[in-house]
Structure 1
Amino acid sequence: MDVRFDRFYRFAEFSEILQWYAATYPEILSIESIGKSFEGRDIWVLTATNIKTGAAADKPAYWIDGNIHASELAATTASLYFINTLVTQYGKRDDITRCLDTRAYYICPRMNPDGAEWAMRDSPKIVRSSTRPYPFDEEPVDGLDIEDIDGDGRILSMRIPDANGNWKCHPDNPRLMIAREPTEYGGQYYRMLPEGSLRDYDGYTVKVNKDKAGLDLNRNFPAGWRQEFEQLGAGPYPTSEPEVRAVVQFICDHTNITGGTTFHTWSGVLLRPSGTTPDDDMPAEDLWEYKRQGEKGTAITGYPAISTYHEFRYHPKEVITGTFNWIYDHLGLYEWTVEIWCPMREAGITNYKYIDWFRSHPVEDDVKMLAWADRELSGQGYVDWYKFDHPQLGPVEIGGWNKLLAFRNPPPHLLEKEVAKFPDLLIHQALISPKIEIYDLKSERVAEGTFRLTLVVQNTGYLPSYVSKRAKSRGQSRGVIAEITLPTGAALVSGDVRDNMGELEGRAYKPTLMSFWTDPCPTADRAVTEWVVAAKVGEKVAITVRHDKAGVSRGTVILK
């Protein structure tokens, strides 16, 4: 199958692609539906690991999802591109081979298949997220419905001459609409409306209708959930929506998940928690580690790594929650939100504030954006104004920014280049996970028919077995469990059949060699336990070592 990364796929073809990958690379990929969307579409998850080196459940795993917001289609492309990178580069790239041999991925490329399908219709319908009517299942009786009024497959803007309008043509480029100066008077001005149709128009006033489908699935996660009056689109209760409930259930059932990345668009940034509280409320060690990961992420992708709370709030008096808040705050896993694509950066605009820029920016930025769109998008990113006889408004002009093409996602010819930035980041994030291994397992005869078994385990991963200080404080893992299985007729003289060896540190959270703080336990990545067994010479004893996050290791010892 010719899978391309310069286009978006509707659900039927998208599903066929995933099934093809799983059928073509069965030694690495498997596929399952973890639930159904509101409209009954499968929510697909692919598991990626080398099954010859062990089951995914026995390895530390990393979660990836995308396209929770309806029109953020590049998030699906990023996931597909990563899947393709894994299967085509396994055995060729050492890091990918090691990753799939020792770790696993759970990849949900399209968490919101209904909304994505609406966005890709021949006449697109753009909603924030789910297509379920909320909070009310009724059509508006008046107002403007945003839609493709002229049937050309685009949703643009409408401009109407109005002496009291807020907008005017740029003096050097009349195609471009810019804000009228506060005290300006006597020119040609326009009132700007979204493209759409009006219900019960009185000839004077226009209000833009909210989407009947008013849910935001990213606000439906348990951590920091708030009612509609505080957080729009959050749903009637946490995980009320089938898409969110399926993902939450899957992640909770797969305790080997050690971190995650959720793909969104657009801003060209790497967002870290928290969305609701300042950095001072985060355990210091976790904040330091988040900043280290962010620096690495920036080096790989070129995207700035920033705090959601401090640098990405939609309004200074409001806070937002999402997948990232729940995965870190409740589960203590390092989770990142990748906002794919930044047209402003492509246009040469630098040092801008990620959210504030949308409220206000210099006219020079508009000029740069228009020049970029003309150069890169062949006149499709910013559409010249054309006349249209509107059924309710009469003569209007339609044109302006084609936001779905230029802003919401990378344009098709730039799509693959953009999503190619992320595989190395996802490999790094998986490989820093904790990894439990048996360091030594030996037997010693202490008397006739009696043997002492010594087990040494170690964490060969970078992160500690408990992953983060947040997870440790939340009791999200119970430590390294060593379990002994004796041959028939043998007896355990001392030691526990199931022994909790505690948590193991990794290489994170360590001071530098120049620090005046001495590492109090340089071997905190190791633990030792012993058993005494009564058995016959030559018999085999099996040992299983497991950790909720750090995987499973097995060994046998012959009694000598």
Structure 2
Amino acid sequence: MKKTILHIALLTSCLCGVGVRQVKAQQTAAQVFRAAGTPQNPKVTVNWTRYYDYDGLTEICAKLAKAYPDLVKLETIGDSYEGRRIWALTISDFTTGDPERKPAMYIDGNIHSNEIQGSEFALYTAWYLVENFQDNKFIQELLQQKTFYILPIINPDARHNFMHQPNTAQASRSGMIPLDDDGDGLVDEDVPDDLNKDGHITFMRRKSSNGRYVVDPQNPLRLIPAKPDQPGEYELLGYEGLDNDSDGLMNEDPPGYYDPSRDWGWNWQPNYIQPGAYKYPFSVPENRSVKDFVLRHPNIAGAQNYHHNGGMALNAQGAEDQNTFTREDNQVYDLLTRNAQQVIPGYTYSVVYKDLNSAFGGELDWFHGARGIFTFSNELMSPFLQLDRKVASGEEREAEQQELNKMLLLTDAFVEWKPFDHPTLGKIEIGGFKKNFPRAHPGFLLEEDAHRNMAFTVYQAYQLPQLVIQEVNTRKLSNGLTEVTATVANNRILPTHSSQDLKHRIERPDYISLRDSTVVSGMVLESAGANRGKEQKLNPARLEIPNVPGMGSVKVRWIVSATKPNLLVEVDSRKGGVVSQRF
């Protein structure tokens, strides 16, 4: 028995020694068995099961740019209201051409203060692409052909405030511009407060014969409505807080109660029609910076905005009176969404005004309506990824959240009820969910959902226009003339111009040029098999093409005054990229 105890003591001592040495050492590539779909030995190591504040995300961005100078460019596109820089990452294979002359995918996150996971999702995409570039042929070809513009945090002040100041999961969605929301001439005087100084702002309740709630017999942490023949035991008093201005209200005057996602210059409405709208379109400085960035990059053909919770892929139809969608555009959205529903279990394809509520002045509406960009706004974390496929609401949804906290988080997301003497309410109890749940993903779901959404945006980028010059044929004519016919195809789902783009002439036409000074005539043929077309008399060497449809083609023809013309053909499209070929 003594020998056994001695052996155990010696083994424990040895293991402890090994453990100390392993903490100090770096694991080598030989010690790692690579899991499919993950980088083997990333240059920038990031734990994607946690959240990072503004400084933390800034550091990750800087490390990526330093580690991959041929794939990543980091720039600031403007400053927030409180002076924080708004970062933009350009991800592309810079050795294969100018990223601004490739079709581009735009991604952003964290427009709302308490919808923080969008930043991690956006930055995970940048990290995944560059860390897998060396070993993944698909990603190599994708970044050779396409560009990603990724803005992880477009509301940096609000992110900083949400993480570092007392807040709740339901904190104001706005930025940090101060507003007097209750009209008493004071700003920010009635905000939720951590009364018991436990590091969390949770709920207040108190026992009352007039209460409408009783303790759930299945879960003592939860209150449920009392039955009609059952006496109530508790009344809910809202979040922890005080009536600082003696107006009889608590928590009603938070910092800056406006909605940055109701500030965009498409179908914008004032606050009395659309609650949350600020002074005028793009009155929020962060949104103006994003708008200016998008206008400087007309190669953006697809976009993705990340929000928080619900498991929905929303398209750009915020209000029912918009006339921005045609059958052709809807077909593109439908094809893209099929992929989302496959790779993100439980996600549903939804239309804002049909499936949620009318929203005027939304970001995704501006992207599609004003810029003609095919845009999705994903509400993240499908209930399917939590406990089951059921999408619940109200009290039923709250019960599911309690079950998730109990069964998968082992009650870590909830602060148990504790007594507290409130200066005006008397003896109360304080407890409830922490601010990191349920709107924010639990850590174990964060990386999985980030990866699935990344895969969806990569698919969108893959389906951006891909133009190829299929063939060029010549035919000798009389009088030293030669007929040159070229066919240009688009091998992807997205057209070079959406119907909204064509309707409002948002972007210039595509150009198909024959680099030969002897061109005397040029025309766009009516169809691939037609032998007639519409002549372009002005500058016939550079033909203007309204659109190259998805999975379609166009045919053009020139007459040149040469028996051996220069057969260098170039296609130049804002959203379809630039390609040239000599025949």
Alignment of 1:187-336 (within 5 A): 187-201=232-246, 205-277=248-320, 282-302=325-345, 303-313=347-357, 318-336=358-376
Q: For 2:560, which of 513, 532, 536 is the aligned residue?
A: 532
Deviation at 1:38, TM superposition (A): 0.8
Which whole-Å CA distance do the structure 1 matches of 2:250 and 2:97 have between them?
A: 58
SS at match of 2:90: strand
Deviation at 1:121, TM superposition (A): 0.4
Q: Which amino acid aligns with 2:403?
A: A
SS at match of 1:405: coil
Unaligned 5+ segments in structure 1 are 508-523
Which whole-Å CA distance do the structure 1 matches of 2:549 and 2:204 have between them?
A: 60
Deviation at 1:96, TM superposition (A): 2.1
8 Å contact kept, 2:468–2:488: yes
**Higher mean Cα deviation, 282-291 or 135-144?**
135-144
Which whole-Å CA distance do the structure 1 matches of 2:116 and 2:391 have between them?
A: 27
Q: For 2:82, which of 39, 56, 59 is the aligned residue?
A: 39
**Higher mean Cα deviation, 239-248 or 380-389?**
380-389
Percent identity, aligned pairs only?
27
When residues 141 and 47 of structure 1 are mapped into structure 2, their CA distance, relative to the original with a 3 A threshold, is closer
Which whole-Å CA distance do the structure 2 matches of 1:198 and 1:151 have between them?
A: 18
Which whole-Å CA distance do the structure 2 matches of 1:386 and 1:320 have between them?
A: 43
Q: For 2:505, which of 472, 475, 481 is the aligned residue?
A: 475
Aligned twin of 1:76: 119
8 Å contact kept, 1:483–1:499: yes
SS at match of 1:251: helix
Deviation at 1:322, TM superposition (A): 1.4
8 Å contact kept, 2:541–2:558: no
Deviation at 1:472, TM superposition (A): 2.2
Alignment of 1:150-549 (within 5 A): 150-181=196-227, 183-184=228-229, 186-201=231-246, 205-277=248-320, 282-302=325-345, 303-313=347-357, 318-342=358-382, 346-348=386-388, 350-352=390-392, 357-358=393-394, 361-362=395-396, 366-402=398-434, 404-441=435-472, 453-466=484-497, 468-485=498-515, 492-495=519-522, 496-507=540-551, 525-533=553-561, 543-549=569-575
Which whole-Å CA distance do the structure 2 matches of 1:143 and 1:343 have between them?
A: 36
Q: Which amino acid aligns with 1:525?
A: S
SS at match of 1:209: coil
Q: Which amino acid aligns with 1:421?
A: R
Which whole-Å CA distance do the structure 1 matches of 2:314 and 2:71 have between them?
A: 30
When residues 556 and 177 of structure 1 are mapped into structure 2, their CA distance, relative to the original with a 3 A threshold, is same
| Superposed CA offset, 1:200-245 (max 9, x none) | 447xx43441323112111101112111111222110001111111
| Superposed CA offset, 1:365-403 (max 9, x none) | 54443232022223232221012233443332110222x
8 Å contact kept, 2:123–2:150: no
8 Å contact kept, 2:87–2:153: yes
8 Å contact kept, 2:242–2:251: no
Which whole-Å CA distance do the structure 1 matches of 2:519 and 2:388 have between them?
A: 71
Which whole-Å CA distance do the structure 1 matches of 2:338 and 2:477 have between them?
A: 53
8 Å contact kept, 1:142–1:200: no
**Higher mean Cα deviation, 490-499 or 117-126?**
490-499
Which whole-Å CA distance do the structure 2 matches of 1:83 and 1:281 have between them?
A: 31
Which whole-Å CA distance do the structure 1 matches of 2:266 and 2:555 have between them?
A: 34
When residues 97 and 72 of structure 1 are mapped into structure 2, their CA distance, relative to the original with a 3 A threshold, is same
Q: Which amino acid aligns with 2:349?
A: A
Which whole-Å CA distance do the structure 2 matches of 1:54 and 1:101 have between them?
A: 8
Q: Which amino acid aligns with 2:282?
A: T
Deviation at 1:409, TM superposition (A): 0.7
Q: Does 1:132 align with 2:177?
A: yes
Q: Does 1:105 align with 2:105?
A: no
SS at match of 1:120: helix
Q: Which amino acid aligns with 2:356?
A: F
Deviation at 1:553, TM superposition (A): 1.1
- TM-score, normalised relative to structure 2: 0.81
Q: Which amino acid aligns with 1:151?
A: K
**Higher mean Cα deviation, 236-245 or 404-413?**
404-413
CA RMSD of superposed structures (Å) = 2.9
| Superposed CA offset, 1:76-116 (max 9, x none) | 11112111110122243343222211111111111111100
Aligned twin of 1:29: 72
Which whole-Å CA distance do the structure 1 matches of 2:423 and 2:278 have between them?
A: 35
8 Å contact kept, 1:25–1:87: yes
Deviation at 1:411, TM superposition (A): 1.7
Which whole-Å CA distance do the structure 2 matches of 1:111 and 1:22 have between them?
A: 19
When residues 366 and 506 of structure 1 are mapped into structure 2, their CA distance, relative to the original with a 3 A threshold, is closer
Deviation at 1:68, TM superposition (A): 0.4
SS at match of 1:215: coil
